Chains A and B, each alone.
Chain A
Amino acid sequence: MSAFSILTRGLALFMLAVFIFAPQLFAFAFEPLTANNAPAIYNQGSLLSLTLSHLRIVVGATLASTVVAVALGIFVTRPAGLDFLPLSRSLVNVGQTFPPIAVLAIAVPLVGFGEKPTFIALFLYGLLPIFENTLSGLTQVSPLTLEAAKGMGMSPRQRLFQIELPLALPVILTGIRLSVIISLGTATIGSTVAAKGLGEVIIAGLQSNNVAFILQGGLVVALLAVLIHDGLSVAERAVARRLGRPADETT
């Protein structure tokens, strides 16, 4: 990354942090957008606690999807699970044609309003990119490498943990990044089913016709997503470098 882009990212992170901790400092900028003395800064809850619960649900759901998706990916590439491999590939393809909002909406009648349907939608939808990338990561390990490992007397378990998973790691991390970004967006829509999160600010703005709320909610969500995306990309490149390959090969 060039010095310029590090500088802009650092500045964006700083502004985001200041805005979340002390939004009133920016009231002057949003004042012109309001009408009829409406508040310029979101006043129905603290931005800090909304941000934290937004992140909590995304992190929780992503962890759960990662564990399940990687385990499934390992299962269908072992001899015992090979029968499920063709089907699971087409299921991932079909699953991604479901819009996240549909998953969210269908979960509501089953589990009620609040965080639960959002968590379920995030978890289910987050599975797909991680599972897909785990599959391609594990299946692209060269057969020659595996043969060599077998020749060295490694057991199947040793081959999995010492050869296959480390080689697939950069691709799996890309899947986790995709999943986190999708989840950040879906969690925002989760506010329509009363999950606590940053979407609340935008929805409140839409309902009370307050453009200032819409703009600040949109800015915070957008900056958060862009910065998290960048942070995860940096982590991926670091892992890829440690494995001694150019970063481009893994994306």
Chain B
Amino acid sequence: MRPLRSGLPLDPLGSVIAILIGVALLAAPFVTYRANRIVSGEGRMLAEALPVLVAAAVFAVAFGAGLAAALIRNPLARLAAALVGLAAIFPAVGLSAVFLTPSGNSFARISPSVGFWLLTLSFALLAADSLTRLRLGPWARLAALATAFGAVALLLLSGAWDGLSILKEYATRSDSFWREARQHLFLALGSLAAACLVGLPLGMLCHRVRALRAGILQALNVIQTIPSIALFGLLMVPLGTLAAASPLAAGLGIRGIGAAPALLALFLYSLLPIVANTVLGLNQVPAVVVDAARGMGLSARQRLVQIEIPLSLPIILAGIRIVLVQNLGLATVAALIGGGGFGTFVFQGIGQSAIDLVLLGAIPTVALSFAAAIILDAATELAKGSA
């Protein structure tokens, strides 16, 4: 901990967060009320959005958390303040939907507004800063992630948010939601698996055969540069021709549009980080270690499996993290060429100017990428520890 500066007991970051909380409470609407799904909405301040006593309680809790952020420097206490703040506003926004919807009216839509998002942002920033300062180990970070997902799942399952607009969009599409979720994971994970199967041996080959290295890495680099939608489009042409020419390919489900070009494009994008990091990982294994293993009579295969791969695992895992986060995001674009995934809702929502539908696609995507990043970061650190 750095010593307090004399005469200024305020924490700079905490003060910024406290100001954000103040603006969110006093100057921004907490939720938006719309008479139906399409019309533009009107804001409702916290005091109008909830029963008086509940509104006062939420106000007091958020205000207190803001004060704590500005005055207290102990990261554990700041984390607690942030969590209490989130625990107050998350159920409150669901309650507000019930409170504001006239009984029997199924057209009215209530969605979180600027005030709610600002409060969420402030508490999330406070929590993120405290967690960074606490320097949690990999297992503790995984536990924090699981707790956060568990808490959100509890809120969703308990029905506390059922009155919110985004969950009404979900309710009318629950079947297609889970179908697109599976498709999204299939695109992102399937292309990752294929890229590992091809990329790891290719990386080992590039490590052994120096002459190949520059050429292969450069070619993969060029592919990485091509914007996703252009690559999807470029792949549609040869795949369409292949399907037209070969009944076998068509029978396997390979067509110009749909999942095939999306999967192939994601696979190609994934190759560079995996091959490059495999080469990098194998290169940094100290030559003396490999020599010692040879001296102990280990064969080339034993050296690779028992020495070189375990020692380069953290760097290879870092490559897999890049690929997974990148693929989960890029898979949204696949919807444009009929490949499905959460992008379906995003593009439908853009087409209908329905922001809740956009969010129904965007929020799960962001949550998945976020979880993937934390899990693989932790795995990388654990691999580093054991290597």
**A-side interface residues toward B, CB under 8 Å?**
33, 80-81, 83-84, 86-87, 89-91, 93-94, 96-102, 105-106, 108-109, 181, 184-185, 188-189, 192-193, 199, 202-203, 205-206, 211, 214-215, 217-219, 221-222, 225-226, 229
Contact indicator A98/B366 (Cβ below 8 Å): yes
Contact indicator B366/A211 (Cβ below 8 Å): no
Contact indicator B233/A105 (Cβ below 8 Å): no
Residues of A within 8 A of B256 (CB): 211
In the bound complex, CA of A219 to CA of B51 (Å): 58
Instruction: With A99-B369, A106-B362 as known contacts, state yes or no: A188 contacts B225, CB within 8 Å.
Output: no
Task: Answer yes or no: B48 CB below 8 A from chain A CBs.
Answer: no
Mask: chain B, 318-361; 1 = CB below 8 Å from A; 0 = not? 00000001001110110011000001001101100101001101
Residues of A within 8 A of B329 (CB): 97-102
Residues of B within 8 A of A87 (CB): 13, 125, 128-129, 132
Contact indicator A218/B231 (Cβ below 8 Å): yes
Residues of B within 8 A of A102 (CB): 329, 332, 346, 361-362, 365-366
Residues of A within 8 A of B362 (CB): 99, 101-102, 105-106
Residues of A within 8 A of B125 (CB): 87, 91
How big is chain B's contact interface, by range? 35 or more
Contact indicator B128/A91 (Cβ below 8 Å): yes
Contact indicator A106/B13 (Cβ below 8 Å): no
Residues of A within 8 A of B355 (CB): 106, 108-109
- Among the stretches B205-213, B234-242, B291-299, the one at the interface with A is B234-242
Mask: chain B, 97-140; 1 = CB below 8 Å from A; 0 = not? 00000000000000000000000000001001101110000000
Closest Cβ of chain B to A183, distance in Å, is 10
A selection of 22 A-B contacts at a CB cut-off of 8 Å is A84-B12, A86-B133, A96-B325, A97-B329, A99-B362, A100-B329, A101-B343, A101-B346, A105-B350, A106-B359, A108-B350, A109-B355, A189-B333, A192-B350, A206-B233, A211-B240, A211-B256, A214-B237, A215-B234, A215-B237, A222-B230, A226-B222
Task: Answer yes or no: B226 CB below 8 A from chain A CBs.
Answer: yes
Contact indicator A98/B369 (Cβ below 8 Å): yes
Contact indicator B226/A188 (Cβ below 8 Å): no
Residues of A within 8 A of B370 (CB): 94, 97
Partner of A99, one of B131, B237, B328, B372: B328
Residues of B within 8 A of A108 (CB): 350, 353, 355, 358
User: Which of B12, B229, B232, B358 has the most CB atoms of chain A within a 10 A radius of its CB?
Assistant: B229
In the bound complex, CA of A102 to CA of B350 (Å): 11
Residues of A within 8 A of B231 (CB): 218, 222
Task: Answer yes or no: B228 CB below 8 A from chain A CBs.
Answer: yes
User: Which of B233, B343, B355 has the most CB atoms of chain A within a 10 A radius of its CB?
Assistant: B233
In the bound complex, CA of A181 to CA of B355 (Å): 28
Task: Answer yes or no: B227 CB below 8 A from chain A CBs.
Answer: yes
Closest Cβ of chain B to A59, distance in Å, is 16
